[in-house]
Amino acid sequence: MKNQYSKFRLSELGDIARGVTYKSPDDLRPAGTPRTVCLLRATNIQDGAITLDDVQVIDGSCAHDRQRLATGDIAICIANGSRALVGKAALVDMQDADGYVVGAFCARFRPKSGESADLIAAIFESGEYRGWIDRLLGTTTINNLKPSDIADCPIVLPTTQSARRRLGEILRTSRAMLRHTDALIAAKREQKRGLMQQLLTGKVRFPGFTEPWKTVRLGDVAHEVSERNKGQLAEQDVCGVIKGAGLMPMRERVMGDDLTRYLVVGPHSFAYNPMRLNIGSIAFNTSHRRVLVSPDYVVFSTRSAQLRPEYLNHVRASWLWERFVQRAGSGSVRTRIYFDDLAQLKLPIPGPTEQDRINAVLQSYNAELRLLSQQREALASQRRGLIERLLGGDLVIPSSETSAA
């Protein structure tokens, strides 16, 4: 038998409070200082979860008791320079949550006693909620919501609290599967990072490899490529370098009218913006086709008989690369790292056969990470569908008593 559904406002399910305002830098404190609280900002709300990277610490007197978080609260971004990020939310699941608050551009929602935090967290992921936020923001040019705007959001839910708690139990399982996969991905990345540290420095070597490593300048085993387009390739071949994503097709509105000066990036070559290399914006062309990049970019290739390009692609994800590019800029206002600068990077490298062996092992880790990421996306898609069907009443959820019988 289907549950009865009724329309609620979020204010009927809990209360909302704006985050803490503080004076910077007067109220900032070093981590570990007594009588302080940790402050979460919008950047700490990622994919429906709280991340504890780059948490600020402020004087505890800045926060009222009502503003301190509790396990089961939902942290919400209510103001942001990007409209798409306004309204994003995450369930607070830290056991020491009372040592945290959210900043003034955020708010916290606290479910009433007996209401399911897992269900309410799912409401903040729903299409109905997102539609409400989009309609509110569509009436203003400011990407800013009041806590009352969130509280007034209408939502259709089971009429009885027991039925709502049952939905919450199902959604808790769904969320746990996502978080378990996130933990697996994080552990695999950390394992790969540790292995890279060992393999790319020669501290750990595979059996059968005894030839001494050489230390070389990148400029001795790689060269800049200055091939221009000259009409060979067209608009659909123009790419930009996106940090973390690689070479991505560019939109027409950000291209120049004349593509003849654009640089050609061949298969197994590298391209980067010299003004953004220090923040990791570099891409390796893993495709089997040639693409174009802005004439402001730098393109280079390795001499593969000495340095396999796949091997260098792993090196650029290492601490050795990161440390060098942070120091290599030649600009005084914004860092510019041209190939002449990058060519000074000194690399310890083994022979080509050992490079291939190292690359094969690290590639196997990348393959596992891709599979885990695909699994996570599938779980996230299933959860989105589950939320819409549960909140829409399309699924018949038996009561606990019916299940037990």
Cα torsion 217, 218, 220, 221 to 10°: value is 130
pLDDT lower than 50: segments of the chain: 1, 253, 331-333, 401-405
3-class DSSP assignment, residue 375? helix
What would the pLDDT profile of 214-259 be if each residue is shown by its tens digit? 999 999 999 999 999 987 888 889 999 988 889 999 875 456 668 8
Which one-letter amino acid corresponds to residue 205? R
Give 10: exposed, middle or buried? Use CB within 10 Å, 0-12, 13-18, 19+: buried
What are the structural domain ranges in the chain? 5-160, 214-349
In the chain, DSSP finds a helix count (H) and a strand count (E) of 10, 21
Name the one residue in this structure whose structure tokens are 């992921």. 125
**Residue count of the chain:** 405
Would you state the pLDDT for residue 255? Answer: 63
Structure tokens of 283? 């891409």
User: Which is the CATH superfamily of the domain at 5-160?
Assistant: DNA methylase specificity domains (3.90.220.20)
Would you state the pLDDT for residue 366? Answer: 94
Q: Are strands 36-40 and 100-102 parallel, antiparallel or unpaired?
A: parallel
Residue 14 CA to residue 11 CA, distance in Å, equals 5
What would the pLDDT profile of 19-37 be if each residue is shown by its tens digit? 999 998 899 999 999 999 9
Residue 251 backbone dihedrals phi, psi, to 5 degrees: -75, 150
User: Which is the CATH superfamily of the domain at 214-349?
Assistant: DNA methylase specificity domains (3.90.220.20)
Residue 170 CA to residue 11 CA, distance in Å, equals 23
Spell out where 225-297 has E strands.
Answer: 239-242, 246-249, 263-265, 270-272, 282-284, 291-293
- Same fold flag, 5-160 and 214-349: yes
